[in-house]
Amino acid sequence: MPVFYGTEIASPLMLGTAQYPSPAILAEAFRASGAGIATVSLRREAGGGQDFLRLIEGLGVPLLPNTAGCHTAREAITTAQMARELLGTPWIKLEVIGHTDLLSPDLFGLVEAARELTAQGFRVFPYCTEDLSVCGRLLDAGCEVLMPWGAPIGSGLGLNNPHGLRALRAAFPDVPLVVDAGIGLPSHAAAAMELGFDAILLNTAVARAGDPAAMARAMALAAEAGRAAFLADPIEPRQMATPSTPVIGKAFLT
């Protein structure tokens, strides 16, 4: 199971708490998923008040507040400070959005905010890209986890750059890595875990599914299967066929 900042998580599936049709469906989806972490936006919590706070605390899993919707480093830092005061955790999923349509990270603001928040004692989970130089700067800034996107948030496209994600895993073999955003199907979740990632984080694919609880369960099974496959040391793909039945003992006509 993944370990983030010294805390072992019960499942490689991390699940968001936004967009569900009702609080009851949200709770049902979490029960079905067995998710190890619940992410929560401070803006969403503020809109839901104490009822929503009680709901997410009742999920019985560690909470990872995020700075969703922040477009500058200063805005993200302020939001993180508010989240720590409200939810009582130093963990923060750091989002600094650079492009409104793609919701892609502002990598310059991200590194700036990560450095400042780490200095303030936060345990930062940065939403980033698979760019090796940026990820190296985030580690230098004090981050001990990296969360590269698979595809734009809520797109359901899966892994847009599996080669880049594989290179990231190879470059930082000892750093916990989480694919965050873009997962739309269980096959996407399995593919991410087969690359050697430690966890996946998703929200829209479950919350907006016709049956959120069923999709949550499917995602959990896919994540577990993908991780088991990675640990099993799968065969390398080949361009030519390899017979699975040995030719030793085969009768030859002369």
Tens of pLDDT, residue by residue over 71-81, are: 999 999 999 99
User: Which residues does the annotation place in the binding site for 1-deoxy-D-xylulose 5-phosphate?
Assistant: 154, 181-182, 203-204
Whole-model pTM over 0.85:
yes
- Residue 109 pLDDT > 80, yes or no? yes
For each of the domains in the chain, give its residue range(s) and CATH number, in order of start: 3-232 (3.20.20.70)
Q: Radius of gyration over alpha carbons of the chain, in Å?
A: 20
CB atoms within 10 A of CB 139: 16
Rounded percentage of the chain residues whose pLDDT exceeds 70: 94
Residue 250 designated active-site: no
User: Which residues does the annotation place in the binding site?
Assistant: 154, 181-182, 203-204
Instruction: Please answer whether residues 146 and 138 qualify as being in contact, where contact means their C-beta atoms are separated by less than 8 angstroms.
Output: yes
pLDDT confidence of residue 252: 63
Choosing from 84, 93, 169, 188, the catalytic residue is: 93
- Residue 251 pLDDT > 70, yes or no? no
pLDDT confidence of residue 45: 52
Burial level of 23, CB count in 10 A (0-12/13-18/19+)? middle
Each residue of 127-149: pLDDT tens digit? Answer: 999 999 999 999 999 999 999 99
Say which DSSP state 62 is in.
-
pLDDT confidence of residue 6: 93
d(CA 254, CA 173): 55
Residue 247: band (very low, low, confident or very high) from pLDDT cuts 50, 70, 90: low
If we measure between CA atoms, which residue out of 90, 202, 223, 204 comes closest to residue 150? 202
Each residue of 11-42: pLDDT tens digit? Answer: 999 999 999 999 999 999 999 999 999 999 87
